[in-house]
Amino acid sequence: MDAHDTTGTLEEALERLHASGPERLGRLTNHAPMVVEALAAHGQAGAVHRWLDLYRPKLEDFPTPVAPVTDANWREALGDPRRAADWIGYFGRELAGQPWRDVLAAWWPRLLPGMYGGSTHPVIRVGHAVRALEAGESAPRLAELAHGLGYWAARHRPVSGIAVLPAAPSAARSLDAVPPITEPRGGFPDRLAAVRRLPLWPGDVTDPDTARARLTELVRAATHRYATHGHGEATMLVHAATAPNAVLRTLGCLPRELWVPSLRAAWTASAAVTAMYAPAEPVAHVPAPGRTAQEVLERALAHGDEHVIKLTDTALDVSDERALAAALRAVELSEPLVPN
């Protein structure tokens, strides 16, 4: 399914959203830019502004700048969430003077080690922005990439000290082999700090084309797994699929030498989220959806929750019955945007 908006609605929505910051309450991500892009990409442009009206209470004003980020001082601002406005301004200037693919290629290897900050939302926002730009360039779409990259730089958080465990041959079996954390307390940062052991599933990959194939396999496996394991944490386990899918969407715009490290970072993100939120036991059986992809998308839109829509977007990329079942499972498990 590829009916990316050509009506200008996405531009209108992004311009409306760029007066808002990337977070609210100092820690919760603004999902609206990602959702409106997903809706536009799947032929639902007519629903964009209605959905935004419902989501509006979750938006906060754009943050106050501190000091400009420059080519000389960017390292000291990396990973400082107080500098989000400064970073967004920096990338706005960079994108005004260079092709967006050049800016992305220059900054991807700098940002990739810290894709775990902000609960992986920054890289997901960048993946949506890249898809929109590939469909057609415009000033609001370029500004959205600046917002996504700036958010990523501000929330940049590397992980280290993770012991390597043996991996299974497939992504699905390796996700099954991820050991859960032993101290499941607190929010995402605390749980991420408790992840100490992960299988190194793609550790033997050196070829870019193999990396792309493995990343595709990972997205499929993580999406399928939500159908049977999403009850562990209905919202956060969505990111085990949507974070690697954001990386997958971006690969074609990156130099091939970045594909292997991108796969490894995406695997670490997916496996870490699995460790942090996986349930003790999967559900025994998830029935086939009995609905078309279009019907599943309409069900997700009617539900309205931002994570449901984003998982459905990824499920439509995977495009098989188990993926659609995962999307419907998210509808069952999640609170609707506007409770009945």
Asked if the model's pLDDT at residue 3 lies above 60, the reply is: no
Whole-prediction pTM: 0.96
Asked if the model's pLDDT at residue 99 lies above 60, the reply is: yes
In the structure, what pLDDT confidence band is assigned to residue 281 with cuts at 50, 70 and 90? very high
Question: Which distant-in-sequence residues (6+ apart) come within 8 Å of 332 by Cβ?
Answer: none
Q: What is the pLDDT of residue 185?
A: 79
- In the chain, what are the helix, strand and coil shares in percent, each to the nearest 5? 65, 5, 30
Question: Which distant-in-sequence residues (6+ apart) come within 8 Å of 171 by Cβ?
Answer: 201, 214, 217, 218, 220, 221, 222, 267
Report strand pairing: 197-199 vs 28-29: unpaired
3-class secondary structure, 73: coil
Q: Among residues 221, 29, 313, which one has the least CA distance to residue 229?
A: 221
| Overall average pLDDT of the 243-255 stretch | 98
Q: Among residues 325, 322, 77, 276, which one has the least CA distance to residue 175?
A: 276
- Give per-residue pLDDT as tens, 160-171: 999 999 999 999
In the structure, what pLDDT confidence band is assigned to residue 1 with cuts at 50, 70 and 90? very low
Q: What is the pLDDT of residue 182?
A: 85
DSSP 174-238: HHHTPPPPS---SSHHHHHHH--EEE-TTTT---HHHHHHHHHHHHHHHHHHHHHHGGG-TTGGG
Asked if the model's pLDDT at residue 264 lies above 80, the reply is: yes
- Give per-residue pLDDT as tens, 141-153: 999 999 999 999 9
Q: What is the pLDDT of residue 50?
A: 96
Q: What is the pLDDT of residue 4?
A: 59
Neighbours of 207 (CB within 10 A): 12
- Give per-residue pLDDT as tens, 291-335: 999 999 999 999 999 999 999 999 999 999 999 999 999 999 999
Q: What is the pLDDT of residue 183?
A: 80
Please report, rounded to a whole number, the percentage of residues in the chain having pLDDT higher than 90. Answer: 92
DSSP 86-132: HHHHHHHHHHHHS-HHHHHHHHHHHHGGGBTGGGGHHHHHHHHHHHH
